[in-house]
Amino acid sequence: MAAITMTALPSSVDHQVVIPLLKCPIAAAAAAAMIPTVDLSSPGAARAVAEACRGVGFFRATNHGVPSSLAATLEADAMAFFALPDKDKQSTTTTTTPAPGPGSARPSLGYGSRRIGSNGDVGWLEYLILSLGSNSVLPASLRLALHEYTRAVRELSGRVLELMAEGLGIVGETERGVLRRMVAGSEEELVRVNHYPPPTTERDEDDDGCVGITGFGEHTDPQLISLLRSNRTAGYQILLQEADEARWVNVAPDPDSFFVNVGDTLQVLTNGRFRSVKHRVLVAPERGGKASRLSVIYFGGPAPAQRIAPLPELMREGERSLYRDFTWGEYKAAAYKTRLGDHRLGPFQVQLLPPAAAKA
């Protein structure tokens, strides 16, 4: 791998942490066509959402109904926050003592940089993690912007979850809300604001121009659903499965759209019909610097005591669950003990015998 030397570091970043370098895939001309796009206002939205979640586990949502002014205000206030002195940003970190028992594990709330979780993962970023309803020590304007933005995105998440259920064949005014109700009012809703500063670098002469710094390492999201919106700076990638081959595909930024990820929990609730897709962020160094990447992600998770098992409405006669039953609290506690790239669902999968062997 080509070497890369950092010549400038954001003052807010821990200089003792070494960030891994990765090869950046060169985007194919047809890469944009590989990313499903769903017009949420169209009559066929439910079917299109389900097809995207089955095939990729990810899609771009247009005509979503979230006013662009909310995103623009939040972006401006967030960039102003990340430009503050280190001590001011650090003062937003909250340390709480969780109650004992399953479901007590949660990421540290507030400000952080470089270190992602407590198990050794690192990335070229600084961030805010906020629990909806938490009393954060944020600047008033940013707190208000986050509140207004999150209220709109929470409603969007509920609509998308209803479309997912409808696309799976769960119809009826009450029935189609089965996924939405798992998230609505849950204390497990989180918002994450990630800021990826542009590193200034010196490259080796033999560098092929395709080296990137790990911004956020590859992972799946443990919750039901996540909705991401970013500014115009690229770097987001998903791991696209094609037959027996998997390759990283660049996702072109689109500030006017939301990008929806299927989470691990939703994969279990659909008994594998929907897939939880791996994704990551690479920060591509360039001489002279470039614009920062800013993304805001809403995570919708159920209550800690919520039982996670395939929805009975989906199970066909004779179909067996691919996963053992667990609660969201149990899965979350296990997930926060792993590294980002670990296969978190692995320990919860059931090794099913072929039908002939099961009858023996």
Average pLDDT over residues 195-218: 70
pLDDT band at 237 (very low <50, low <70, confident <90, very high): very high
pLDDT at position 265: 97
Q: Is 351's pLDDT higher than 90?
A: no
This prediction has a pTM of 0.88
| DSSP secondary structure, 250-315, as one string | E----TTSEEEEE-HHHHHHTTTSS-PPPEEEEE---TT--PPEEEEEEEE---TT-EE---TTTP
pLDDT at position 108: 63
The CATH number for 280's domain is 2.60.120.330
Q: Is 34's pLDDT higher than 90?
A: no
How many domains is the chain built from? 1
Measure the CA–CA gap between 15 and 8, rounded to whole angstroms.
Answer: 10
- H-helix or E-strand spanning residue 69: helix 68-82
Average pLDDT over residues 56-75: 96
pLDDT digits (tens, 9 = 90+) for 135-193: 567 899 999 999 999 999 999 999 999 999 999 999 888 899 999 999 987 888 899 99
**Domain that includes residue 327, residue range:** 4-359
pLDDT at position 12: 47
Q: Is 15's pLDDT higher than 80?
A: no
Average pLDDT over residues 219-238: 95
pLDDT band at 232 (very low <50, low <70, confident <90, very high): very high
